[in-house]
Structure formats: structure tokens, C-alpha cells
Amino acid sequence: MIEIIQFGDIDVHLLQNICKEVEIVFGECVTSGKKLQVLREYFDEKRRQYESRHFLEVLARHAKNSGAEKILGITDEDLFTPGLNFIFGQAYMSGRICIISTHRLNPGFYGVRENEALLLERCAKEALHELGHCFGLEHCSDRRCIMVFSNSITDVDKKTKKFCEKCRI
């Protein structure tokens, strides 16, 4: 079973739809009503972002009392990891936990009209990608494969929600 946990207030409709997409690929998925928090002190004022490891640390503490095989955290905060300007998500390779951020997946971030269907599509792709890492998959060179590294929102939009033959779980 995969458990989806929200950080802060994430639209219930979005959570439920991501869970449905995850369920198609990985089996049972539940959205817990639990909301986790990351302390404001972890916000990097200079960058105006959060470092993703703080979210992963909170998820790791939650995982100790969870019966879920994998746990996907979802936040609307802008995330980064050292060496990168931003990230859409991050996972512990072959681990139990991962995080995605809706912040830069939202069309509104790019100054275009809000588009719920596009936001859901992007979130589903990133959720599947990060869960793929949890199941031991590395980045793929196939540009259509869900496991290709996305360096930009254009990269997210170009890839499909499918695993290529090499990456198929």
C-alpha cells in the first residue's frame, strides 16, 4: 500500500486524483487525512524555498508508525536540493519515502491561466517518477519514459506516465 500525506493544505480533489493514478500503476493507495508540517525555520529566506531534505526527514519520522510500503508526501512549497535551483520532487532510492511539490507544476507559476487537468497530469507524472525511485529505478535516457530526469516543466510535459520496457516494474 502507498500512503499519500500532505504538507499543509492540498486540494482534496488533487490528492484523490493523484492517488487514483498511483493506484493504476502500483496498486492500493490511500490518502490519509493527516497533515504534516515543516518548521518555518527551515525556509531559506535568501532562496525563498525550502530544502527538500527537511520534508523527507518529517516523512521518515512518520514512516516509523505507518504500515504503508511507500509514503508519498505532497507539498505546495517550492523545493530545492543543494546543487539544483529547484526540484519537482525527491526520493530515497529504494527507500520508503518521497516528496513532490506542486509549486512549479502549477501552470499559474509560469504566468499562464490555471489548468487543473494539466496540474493533475504533471503531479501524477512526478508522483510516479519519485515512487519509481523508491522501487529502485534510476533515471532513464528514454525521453518518453516516466523515469527520465526533468530539468524543466517542458521536460515534465514531454514525458508520458508510462515506464519504458527497461524500467517497467
Report, as residue numbers or ranges, the catalytic residues. 130
Of how many residues is the chain composed? 169
Across 81-166, the runs of DSSP E, i.e. the strands, are 89-91, 97-101
**Residue whose entry in the numeric block shows the C-alpha cell 508522483:** 127
Single-letter code of the amino acid located at 47:
R
Task: State how far the Cα of 106 lies from the Cα of 82, in Å rounded to an integer.
Answer: 23
Nearest one of 69, 3, 80, 81 to 36, comparing CA atoms:
3
Strand, helix or coil at 11?
coil
What whole-number distance in Å separates Cα of residue 146 and Cα of residue 77? 23
